[in-house]
């Protein structure tokens, strides 16, 4: 039996200061706090971060609930064991309800370890190709003048799509102004679930701006109302929060509740499910793109490798790390050039931790040994 043995796991909570607060319809982030998982085995070391937030604002999971699962269930069950293939983790992860973000961090770290054990870049192991991926930016909610200036700045830098965060009361006027100033720019909005079918007037007004898609306009756990909405508007709906599994994706695509999918490997429980969603979407001729959660360089590197799969046909959200953080926890600079992000070279995710800096932003650290 080959595969690789997980000899040790290190679980940290990391808090990285943000350059500026980031506001979406559910609230404002002042820093990026996340679980970081390090797996060691056979002389190799692998990394992943979880996209779970301290409080359940984007989805239901919290760091606290995820830490319980990691500490009491997942890490004790994988440390000291050899796994022949990443799919061998599924029987350990899948019996527990929900917690896709927590499942993902375990699975993603193991993919990094496994690719390293095969001496392959993660991209190659996943079946992706190309050495750069197309990216746009996600602009948080801010005053109109600032939104205009930021849109100009990022278009000048070559970013391939501008996504505006909007919310009730900060929607049609801002999109109208941006569309008037930038008539040809690829444009989308992300609502993070802030509307209901009662807001059809806003939806119809937003439908007039030739946007690429409207991301997650309605409830985070709803598919049916999105299907109803899609019958009323021309702009494609793109689901983010509502798709946590391939089964959700199947139901959304068969009912025309989504015509584009935002795939976040950290939201859907890991690469196994992300690839199933990616492949299923391709069979429906539904393009996907890779979203982000303001990840540090570790999560960013994972996202970039995933984005090299062939049905990632629209620009992703993995923009330059320097847009968000004064300093990152990895040595490599993940910076875009002309709207493309280079795929980190090397084995696995291809980036390395800056241990000295990591120590200064670590809130807690636990080590699990066999």
Q: Which residues bind ligand OSB (CB under 6 A)?
A: 24, 58, 138, 190, 192, 240, 291-294, 317, 319
Nearer to Mg ion, 26 or 352 (CB): 26
Residues 88-117 that bind Mg ion (CB under 5 A): none
| Cα distances (Å, whole numbers) of residue 79 to 113, 354, 370 | 13, 24, 6
Integer Cα distance of 134 and 62 in angstroms: 31
- Which lies closer to ligand OSB via its Cβ, residue 112 or residue 317? 317
Specify the residue, 123 or 235, whose C-beta has the smaller distance to Mg ion: 235
Q: Which does 78 bind (CB under 5 to 8 A by kind): ligand OSB, Mg ion, none?
A: none
**Min. distance of Cβ 47 from ligand OSB in angstroms?**
18
Provide the minimum distance between the beta carbon of 370 and Mg ion in the complex, in angstroms, as a whole number: 39
Look at residue 50 and give the partner it binds from Mg ion, ligand OSB, none, a contact being a CB closer than 5 to 8 Å depending on partner kind. Answer: none
* 215 vs 332, beta carbon nearer Mg ion: 215
CB of 26 to ligand OSB, least distance (A): 8
Instruction: By CB under 5 A, tell whether 212 contacts Mg ion.
Output: no
> Out of 49, 53, 112, 190, which residue is the one contacting Mg ion (CB under 5 A)?
190
Instruction: Tell me which of ligand OSB, Mg ion, none is bound by residue 107, counting a contact when its beta carbon lies within the kind-specific cut-off of 5 to 8 angstroms.
Output: none
Q: Centre a 10 Å sphere on the Cβ of residue 19 and count the other Cβ atoms it contains.
A: 10
Please choose which of Mg ion, ligand OSB, none residue 235 contacts, taking the beta carbon within 5 to 8 angstroms, the exact cut-off set by kind: none
What residue is closest to ligand OSB based on CB? 292
Catalogue the active-site residues.
165, 264
Whether 151 and 181 have beta carbons less than 8 Å apart is answered as yes
Piece of the chain touching Mg ion by CB under 5 A; list 22-30, 154-162, 194-202, 236-244: 236-244
Nearest-angstrom CA–CA distance, 340 and 319: 8
Q: Of 157, 164, 153, 120, give the one whose Cα is nearest residue 24.
A: 164
Mapping DSSP to helix (H, G, I), strand (E, B) and coil, where does residue 95 land?
A: coil
- Kindly tell me which residue out of 240, 273, 295, 317 binds Mg ion, with binding defined by CB under 5 A: 240
Contact partner at residue 111 from ligand OSB, Mg ion, none, CB < 5 to 8 Å by partner kind: none
| Residue 241, SS3 per DSSP | coil
**Cα distance from N-terminal residue to C-terminal residue, the chain:** 19
- Tell me the number of residues near Mg ion by CB under 5 A: 3
CB 84 within 8 A of CB 3: yes
Q: Which alpha helices (H) appear in the chain, and where do they start and end? A: 63-69, 75-78, 90-93, 100-117, 122-126, 144-156, 172-181, 200-206, 224-232, 246-254, 271-283, 297-306, 355-360
- We find the least distance from the C-beta atom of residue 337 to ligand OSB, in angstroms, to be 17
Which CB atom, from 25 or from 308, has the smaller least distance to ligand OSB?
A: 25
Token representation of residue 148: 């205009």
Nearer residue to ligand OSB within complex by CB, 58 or 213: 58
Nearer to ligand OSB, 79 or 218 (CB): 218
Question: How buried is 172 (Cβ within 10 angstroms: 0-12 exposed, 13-18 middle, 19+ buried)?
Answer: middle
Q: How many CA atoms lie within 13 A of 151 on its CB side?
A: 28
* Three-state SS letters, 165-185: ECECCECHHHHHHHHHHCCCC
φ, ψ (nearest 5 deg) of residue 220? -60, -25
| Residue 317 contacts which entry, ligand OSB, Mg ion, none (Cβ below 5-8 A, type-dependent) | ligand OSB
Which one of 63-71, 214-222, 227-235, 293-301 is the stretch in contact with Mg ion (CB under 5 A)? 214-222
**Binding-site partner at residue 292 among ligand OSB, Mg ion, none, CB < 5 to 8 Å by type:** ligand OSB
Which residues, in sequence order, are CB contacts of 162 under 8 Å at separation 6+? 136, 137, 139, 151, 154, 155, 178, 182, 185, 186, 187, 188
53 binds Mg ion (CB under 5 A): no
Structure tokens at 138: 């996600």
| Footprint of Mg ion (CB under 5 A) | 190, 215, 240
């Amino acid at each position: 039996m080959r595969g690789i043995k997980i000899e040790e796991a290190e679980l940290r909570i990391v808090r990285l200061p943000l350059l500026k607060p980031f506001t979406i319809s559910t609230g404002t982030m002042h820093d990026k706090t996340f679980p970081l998982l390090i797996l060691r085995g056979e002389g190799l070391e692998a990394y992943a971060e979880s996209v779970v937030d301290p409080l359940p604002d984007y989805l239901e999971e919290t760091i606290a609930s995820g830490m319980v699962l990691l500490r009491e269930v997942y890490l004790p069950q994988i440390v000291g064991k050899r796994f022949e293939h990443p799919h061998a983790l599924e029987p350990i992860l899948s019996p527990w309800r929900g917690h896709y973000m927590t499942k993902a961090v375990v699975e993603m770290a193991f993919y990094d370890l496994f690719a390293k054990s095969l001496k392959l870049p993660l991209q190659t192991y996943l079946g992706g190709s190309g050495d750069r991926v197309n990216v746009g930016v996600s602009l948080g909610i801010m005053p109109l003048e600032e939104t205009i200036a930021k849109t100009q700045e990022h278009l000048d830098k070559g970013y391939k799509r501008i996504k505006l965060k909007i919310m009730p009361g900060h929607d049609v006027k801002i999109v109208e102004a941006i569309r008037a100033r930038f008539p040809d720019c690829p444009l989308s909005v992300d609502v993070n679930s802030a509307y209901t079918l009662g807001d059809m007037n806003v939806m119809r007004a937003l439908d007039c701006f030739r946007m690429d898609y409207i991301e997650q306009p309605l409830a985070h756990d709803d598919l049916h109302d999105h299907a109803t909405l899609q019958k009323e508007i021309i702009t494609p709906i793109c689901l983010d929060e509502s798709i946590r599994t391939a089964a959700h994706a199947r139901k959304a695509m068969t009912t025309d509740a989504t015509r584009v999918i935002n795939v976040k490997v950290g939201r859907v429980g890991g690469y196994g499910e992300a690839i199933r969603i990616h492949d299923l979407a391709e069979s429906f001729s539904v393009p996907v793109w890779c979203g982000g959660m303001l990840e540090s360089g570790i999560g960013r590197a994972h996202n970039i490798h995933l984005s090299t799969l062939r049905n990632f046909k629209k620009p992703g959200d993995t923009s330059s790390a320097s847009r968000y953080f004064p300093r990152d926890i990895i040595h490599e600079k993940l910076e875009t050039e002309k709207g493309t992000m280079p795929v980190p070279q090397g084995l696995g995710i291809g980036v390395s931790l800056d241990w000295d800096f990591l120590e200064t932003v670590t809130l807690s650290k636990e080590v699990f040994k066999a």
